Amino acid sequence: MGLDGKTAVVTGAARGIGYAYCRRLAADGAHVVAVDIDDPADAVAELTGGGDKLGLVCDISKPSQVDAVAETVLDRYGRCDILVNNAGIFPFTDLDHVTMELWRKVQAVNVEATLLFAKAFAPGMRAAGWGRIVNTGSGITVTQNRDLAYLTSKGTVHALTRALANELGGSGITVNAIAPGLVATEGFLGRVRTSGPSADEVFARVTAMQTIKRRSVPADLGNALGFLVSDDADFITGQILHVDGGMTRTGA
C-alpha cells in the first residue's frame, strides 16, 4: 500500500494479531516499532521488508513506561505516523468473582493505554497533517453477554475510537477499530487449555455461526489493517470494522 518513510508503533506485537500487524506494516514499507510486555526481539528479527525495525519492552498499564516508549520513538523517528493499539488482556470475569484489582488492570491495559499512546503521538500527527490510529476492539461486544471486565473494556475501546475520530478528523487523522472474532492465537489457545471445551470444539461452534466457514487467522486482521492505514482509506474514520467471517452482521 506504500508506507515508505512512515513510522508505525504496534502494541502487543510479539505474537498473534500484533505480530501479524507488524508483518503487514513492514511488508508495506513502514518503519516498525514493536512494543510488548515480553521482549519482542525475536519477533522483530523475523520481520522482512520495510524500513527500520525496533523492539521495545513496555508494561502499557504503567503510564511512566508508555511515556518512555513515546520518548524513544520521537527521539529516533521524529514522530509516529501510524499507531496500532493492539495489546490487551482477557482474564474471564463475572460479577460474583471479579475483584476491583483485576477490573482495574483490564481497564488499564485495554483502555487507558490506548488513550495514553494517542495523547503521546497525536500532536505529531496533527503537525504533519496525516495520521492513522487503529485500535483492536472485539466482536464480543455484540456476540456475547458474559466476560464482564473484558466485554466492558472493548465496548469502551469502541466508544473511545469514535470519540477520537470526532476530535482528530479535522487534522488529517483517521481513527478506526478492527473488531476480530475468535482468532487462532497463542493467547486464545493458552486460555482454552486451562479450562472448558477444547479449541477444536470452540472453533467448530463459532465457525458454524459464520458465513465464511473457516477459522480466522492473524493474517486476516493484518490485511484489514493494511487497508485502514493506507491512503485508500482516507475517507473512513470512526468505524468499527468487524473482521470475523460474517459472525457479526449488525453494527456495534
Q: How far apart are the first and last CA of the chain?
A: 28
* Residues 152, 157: Cα–Cα separation, whole Å: 9
- pLDDT (average), residues 101-124: 98
User: What is the C-alpha to C-alpha distance for residues 227 and 210, in angstroms, rounded to an integer?
Assistant: 22
Q: How many residues does the chain have?
A: 252
Reference 6, options 135, 131, 122; nearest CA is 131
**Domains of the chain as residue ranges with CATH:** 7-185+216-243 (3.40.50.720)
Portion of the chain with pLDDT greater than 70, in percent: 93
Q: Write down the pLDDT at residue 185.
A: 74
Q: For residue 71, what pLDDT is reported?
A: 98
Give pLDDT tens digits for 18-76. Answer: 999 999 999 999 999 999 999 999 999 999 998 999 999 999 999 999 999 999 999 99
> So what's the pLDDT on residue 190?
59
pLDDT, mean of residues 200-212 = 83
Average pLDDT (200-223) is 86
Q: Is the pLDDT of residue 17 over 60?
A: yes
Tell me, what DSSP letter sits at residue 212?
A: S
> What CA–CA distance (Å, rounded) separates 12 from 133?
15
Q: Which residue type does 202 have?
A: V
**Residue-level pLDDT at 187:** 63
Helix axes 186-194, 199-209, angle to 10 degrees: 120
> Grid coordinates in use for 222?
493484518
pLDDT digits (tens, 9 = 90+) for 119-157: 999 999 999 999 999 999 998 888 766 789 999 999 999
Q: Active-site positions? A: 150
Q: Tell which residue, 16, 106, 131, 121, has the closest CA to residue 69.
A: 121
Q: Is the model's pLDDT at 203 over the cut of 80?
A: no
- CA angle, 63 then 158 then 127, to 5°: 60
Strands 131-136, 82-85: pairing kind: parallel
> Mean pLDDT, to the nearest integer, of 77-97?
94
Note the helical H segments in 108-243. Answer: 113-128, 140-143, 148-168, 186-194, 199-209, 218-228
- 35: helix, strand or coil: strand
95, pLDDT greater than 70:
yes
Mean pLDDT across the stretch 172-197?
77
Average pLDDT, the chain: 92
Show the cell assigned to 204. Answer: 467448530
8 A C-beta contact, residue 37 and residue 59: yes
Could you give the 3-state DSSP secondary structure of residue 198?
A: coil
Identify the weakest region by mean pLDDT among 11-25, 84-98, 195-209.
Answer: 195-209
Closest CA to 83 of 43, 41, 119: 119
Written as nine digits, the cell of 6 is 512512515
